Amino acid sequence: MTADGKISAVDPKAPRHSDPADQAHLEYQISLADLILIGSGTIRAEGGIFTIRNPELLAARSVRGQPPQPITCVVSRSLDLSPNLPFFQQDIERWIFTTRTGLERSPDATTLQKLANIVELGDTDLNWDRAYTLMLEKGINKVVALGGGSLTAALVQAGRIDDWWLTIWPVIYGGHNVPTPVEGEGFLPAQAPQLHLVETRQIESELFLHYRTLK
Q: Pick the more confident residue, 147 or 94.
A: 94
H or E, element range at 135:
helix 128-137
Q: How far apart are CA 93 and CA 172, in angstroms?
A: 36
Instruction: Report pTM.
Output: 0.93
Q: How does DSSP assign 16-56, residue by residue?
A: -PPPHHHHHHHHHHHHT-SEEEEEHHHHHHHSS------HH
Within-domain flag for 88: yes
Within-domain flag for 2: no
Mean pLDDT of the chain: 95
For residue 13, what pLDDT is reported? 75
Long-range interactions of 113-116: CB distance < 8 A, separation 24+: 115/83, 115/88, 116/74, 116/88
Q: How far apart are CA 175 and CA 8, in angstroms?
A: 10
Mean of pLDDT values over 105-132: 96
Within-domain flag for 109: yes
Domain harbouring 163, CATH code: 3.40.430.10
Percent of the chain past pLDDT 70, that is, above it, reads: 100
Within-domain flag for 110: yes
| Domain total of the chain | 1
Full residue range of the structural domain in which residue 164 is found: 20-213
Within-domain flag for 178: yes
Within-domain flag for 188: yes
Within-domain flag for 200: yes
Within-domain flag for 151: yes
pLDDT tens for residues 132-150? 999 999 999 999 999 899 9
